[in-house]
Structures are given as structure tokens and as C-alpha cells.
């Protein structure tokens, strides 16, 4: 665990060193004191200790710089804090959080349910037969939504794939030369199809492809893949970059092809 979580002095040391790194080389001890919530005298003492420990280098009056050792220590503490925060959000809070699920059979509040993803939506089945379970907090009939909490385990799911299908932009003469049959066949392999750009919407209409949305297509495709769905993004070559940027930001694997 991070030392900053174990004792107040280490936590204050971490805050002050981070403030120095943010403000260097001109460091106002008064501003740091106000930001951290301690006295200027306390900041002066902490800085003196940081200099003695080789984490900060004094370069002149009110001029300090964090050393390589200081940066390494900050990274170490920050990573430990990040791991603890992830534990709290992913393990602790997730277990007490409530979410809605479609029930496959009638359930009553207090029933244990097995959780699964179907068509990208959370489903709950009465019983504890699966690797991921929860507890219903409301009554619900089959096909309706129930509130579920007390999540345990991991929902078995294979991440979906994303395929970006490029079509020519309208400014090029061959913009109407999209092979409708090839586009339809490529989109038929996907669970969800979204479009990026007017040209993509028109191409899908010519190919009789149902488009779910043309708003934030990269983000929608990334979310679908995270829920186990295969997505196709039809995009003009002018808009494909924004789509792939969104997919990279989400950490989703994808391929870019032409239909």
C-alpha cells in the first residue's frame, strides 16, 4: 500500500513534493502551504527534509527542482495510490453498486441471480449457477428490468471486434462508386453498424444496411466491443481518423479495410 495512505506525514510529504514539481523552479512556500493546508513553517521544514533526502535540489532563493530520485518516488507513490483507487472502484464500490438487468425469469427482491451479457445488455437468471452472481433488490417478471447489487465474480465474455470500413468522400469523383453488395456483406458480419460522415450514411442506405447511429461512432463501437459485440463502422476517409482515434483511446483493437 502507498505510504501516503499509511501515515499523515508521508501524505503531506507527497503533496508538497508534487506541488514543487508542478511549480518548479520558482516555488512559493506560502502558495504551497495554502494548497496543502499546512503552515509555511511546516512547508519549509518538509522542503529541508526533502533536500536532505536528495528528492529536491535547491538552486537559489525560493528556487527548487525535483531530482530524478524525487520523480521516481512520486511515481512509486502515485502508482500505489492508483492501484488502491482501482481496488476501491473495481472491487469495493462495484460490489455495493446497483445496476439494472433484464431478468430471464420471475425474481423477487433478495433472490440470488446469475449475471450474463446478451446483445451487450446485462441479464439476470434466478440461481447461482454462473461465475458472476448478484442479488436482486426489486421484484420483476420475466423480460422486465430488476435492480441488482452485491456483485461477485467475473462475467464470462469475449471482447468484440471493430472493423472500420472506409468509403470515398463526396469531394472525389468516385464517391458514388461504393460496391453496395460488398458493403452489405461486410456489415452483415457485425452485430451493430454505425456510420461516420454523410457519405457513410448514404452508402449504407444504398446497401440497405441498418445504421444504429451516426453520433460518436467511434465511442459507440468501442463500447459495443467492450460488451462483447462485433461492430462495423462505415466511415468516409475524411472521418476515419477520428473514429480510429476514439478506438485507440478506448484501447480497442480494430482493423481498417474497404468493403
pLDDT in tens, 139-166: 999 999 999 988 888 787 788 899 999 9
Write the CA distances from 247 to 119, 142, 183, 191, 259, integer angstroms: 20, 35, 21, 17, 19
Query: Checking DSSP bridges between strand 99-103 and strand 145-153, what pairing results, if any?
Result: antiparallel
pLDDT > 90 in the chain, percent: 64
Asked if residues 148 and 104 have their Cβ atoms less than 8 Å apart, the reply is: no
Per the DSSP assignment, residues forming a β-bridge with 196 are: 235
Q: Is the pTM of this model over 0.75?
A: no
The beta-strand segments (E) located in the chain are 56-60, 63-66, 99-103, 112-118, 121-126, 132-136, 145-153, 162-167, 192-196, 231-236, 254-257
Q: What is the 3-state secondary structure (H, E, C) of 231-243?
A: EEEEEECCCHHHH
Domain spans in the chain, listed from the N-terminal domain onward: 8-93, 97-153, 162-257
The reply to whether 162-257 shares the fold of 8-93 is: no
Return the CATH architecture of domain 162-257.
3-Layer(aba) Sandwich (3.40)
Asked if residues 93 and 147 have their Cβ atoms less than 8 Å apart, the reply is: no
Residue in the structure block whose three cell numbers are 483511446: 249
CATH 1.20.120.1730 applies to domain 8-93? no
> Which H helix or E strand runs over 40?
helix 40-52
pLDDT in tens, 165-202: 999 998 876 556 789 999 999 999 999 999 999 999 99
Amino acid at each position: 500500500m502507498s505510504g501516503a495512505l499509511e501515515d499523515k506525514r508521508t501524505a503531506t510529504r507527497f503533496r508538497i513534493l508534487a506541488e514543487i514539481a508542478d511549480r518548479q523552479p520558482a516555488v512559493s512556500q506560502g502558495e504551497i502551504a495554502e494548497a496543502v493546508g499546512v503552515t509555511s513553517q511546516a512547508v519549509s521544514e518538509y522542503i529541508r527534509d526533502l533536500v536532505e533526502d536528495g528528492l529536491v535540489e535547491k538552486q537559489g532563493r525560493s528556487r527548487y527542482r525535483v531530482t530524478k530520485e524525487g520523480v521516481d518516488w512520486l511515481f512509486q507513490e502515485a502508482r500505489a495510490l492508483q492501484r488502491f483507487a482501482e481496488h476501491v472502484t473495481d472491487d469495493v464500490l462495484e460490489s455495493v453498486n446497483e445496476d439494472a438487468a433484464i431478468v430471464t425469469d420471475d425474481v423477487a427482491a433478495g433472490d440470488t441471480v446469475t449475471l450474463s451479457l446478451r446483445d451487450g445488455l446485462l441479464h439476470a437468471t434466478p440461481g447461482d449457477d454462473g461465475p458472476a452472481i448478484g442479488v436482486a433488490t426489486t421484484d420483476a417478471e420475466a423480460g422486465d428490468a430488476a435492480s441488482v447489487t452485491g456483485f461477485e465474480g467475473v462475467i464470462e465474455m469475449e471482447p468484440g471486434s471493430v472493423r472500420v470500413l472506409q468509403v470515398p468522400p463526396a469531394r472525389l469523383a468516385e464517391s458514388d462508386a461504393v460496391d453496395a453488395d460488398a458493403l452489405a456483406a461486410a456489415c452483415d458480419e457485425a452485430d451493430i453498424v454505425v456510420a461516420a460522415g454523410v457519405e457513410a450514411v448514404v452508402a449504407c442506405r444504398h446497401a440497405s444496411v441498418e445504421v444504429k447511429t451516426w453520433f460518436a461512432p467511434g465511442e459507440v463501437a468501442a463500447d459495443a466491443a467492450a460488451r462483447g459485440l462485433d461492430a462495423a463502422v462505415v466511415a468516409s476517409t475524411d472521418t476515419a481518423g477520428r473514429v480510429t482515434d476514439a478506438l485507440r483511446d478506448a484501447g480497442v483493437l480494430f482493423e481498417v479495410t474497404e468493403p
